[in-house]
Amino acid sequence: MPNDELDPVDQRILERLVANARISNARLAAEVGVAPSTALTRVRGLVERGVIKGFHAEVDQAAVGRPLQAFIAVRLSAHSREQIDAFTERVYGLPGVQSIFHMTGETDYLLLVAARDAADLREFVVEHLASNPAVAHAQTNLVYEHVRGPGLLGL
């Protein structure tokens, strides 16, 4: 559903949930200016319509022993459906992989990976990418800092 089809109440609900997905329904209702039953119905409706795809915890990677983050651009050697599906499935289950982006252009995949240190990151690249015959090229870029943007709604 496009953003322009969301009414102001739905937009305010999304605004509050993006800021704090753990907000209580009572507080959400109060901040948005609707009854608690209306807030609950609206949130359920947003989930059912696929506007809200899930609720997630943002984890401090350093606090769980993976302070080094990197984007790894991957180019595959061939682009058959089988190779694409196999690569996606393989990297999905690897430790440290936070996000997988399948892309157009020179880069086929962009992986966001969290590692314990430079040696751990190197081992990830060597073991899972450089030694994979489906991978033609991998380029690693370290993340200095990540700042969450305002999101789709520009909140």
CATH of the domain at 91: 3.30.70.920
Helix, coil or strand: residue 34: coil
E strand or H helix at 73: strand 68-76
Residues 9 and 32 in one domain: yes
Could you tell me the two tokens for 126?
């060597």
66 and 137 together in one domain: yes
Quote the pTM value.
0.80
Max CA separation in the chain (angstroms): 58
In a domain, 152, yes or no: no
Considering the domain architecture, whether residues 74 and 138 belong to the same structural domain is answered as yes
103-136 confidence digits (pLDDT tens): 999 999 999 999 999 999 999 999 999 999 999 9
Query: To the nearest whole percent, how much of the chain has pLDDT over 90?
Result: 82
Q: Do residue 68 and residue 21 come from a single domain?
A: no
Per the structure, the complete domain to which residue 97 belongs is given by: 61-142
Q: Which residues contact 133 (CB under 8 A, 6 or more apart)?
A: 77
**What's the structural domain count of the chain?**
2
Q: Is residue 155 in a domain?
A: no
